[in-house]
Amino acid sequence: MSVSSLAASSSRCTEPALLSPKEGAGGGGGLIQPLVPTGDHPYECEFCGSCFRDESTLKSHKRIHTGEKPYECNGCGKKFSLKHQLETHYRVHTGEKPFECKLCHQRSRDYSAMIKHLRTHNGASPYQCTICTEYCPSLSSMQKHMKGHKPEEIPPDWRIEKTYLYLCYV
């Protein structure tokens, strides 16, 4: 059965969602997070039933099940299922470490390693409010936190990136 006909025949991916979508990649672990079924996510995985917004995201997700790794490192031959995993891996060969901790200036090759490092600072969450200095464990919780501040408290040049406890040079 083709992906298109599978998506078209499935009612599961076209019904309204009863739950909110899982928090997305935010740059994190590299796996494409399945979303709960909605009319906006008509492409269903034939292996696990997860639903996706577009066919290319479904194709990437299915590599989890099939083990397909189409992206190969020219330096060492290691293979990856997602292009960004190869790009991050390539930094092993170049020595590039584009993520820098604002607290101690340690550098890292990838976002997830930087977030793990930040937690070594007495469990510091990776986001800190520049208005009240409260820490937040995720970008979405920081965005929610910021809505609690009065508009007049927020400087006109404020950007969410200012809350990150790391710098990124990518």
What tens digit of pLDDT does each residue of 4-16 get?
333 334 445 654 4
Of 103, 121, 169, 145, nearest in space to 158 by CA = 145
pTM exceeds 0.85? no
Q: Which domains are seen in the chain, by residue range?
A: 3-66 (3.30.160), 99-146+158-168 (3.30.160)
% of the chain exceeding 90 in pLDDT: 57
- Give the pLDDT confidence score for residue 117 in this predicted structure: 92
CA dist 79 and 50 (Å) reads 25
pLDDT per position as a tens digit, 130-170:
999 898 988 889 999 999 999 999 999 999 899 999 999 88
Q: Is 60 exposed, middle or buried (0-12, 13-18, 19+ CB in 10 A)?
A: middle
Q: Which two tokens stand for residue 81?
A: 């299922």
Rounded to 5°, angle at Cα 163 from 86 and 154: 140
CA dist 164 and 100 (Å) reads 11
CA dist 159 and 152 (Å) reads 15
